[in-house]
Amino acid sequence: MNTTTQFQTRLEELRDARFVAARDFEDVTAAGDDSEAAWQKLQTLDAEITRTQASLAAAQRHEEAATDRKTRDAREKAEAKAKAAHEHAMQAALKFEEAMERAAVLHGEVLAAFEEAHRLQIGNTPAGSTLGAPAVIARIEGRFRQTVARQQRRGPNGKPMPGGPSIESLASFLGVKRSGGFLSRFGL
Does the predicted TM-score (pTM) go above 0.85?
A: no
Distances (CA, A) of 70 to 67, 136, 169: 5, 71, 57
- Quote the pLDDT of residue 98: 87
Report yes or no: 135 and 143 within 8 Å, Cβ to Cβ.
no
Average pLDDT over residues 174-178: 52
Query: Is 60 exceeded by the pLDDT of residue 48?
Result: yes
- H or E segment to which residue 184 belongs: none
Quote the pLDDT of residue 143: 74
Q: 28: closest CA among 16, 11, 40?
A: 40
d(CA 171, CA 78): 48
CB-based contact 140:109 (threshold 8 Å)? no
For the residues 141-160, what does the mean pLDDT come to? 63
pLDDT(53) > 60 = yes
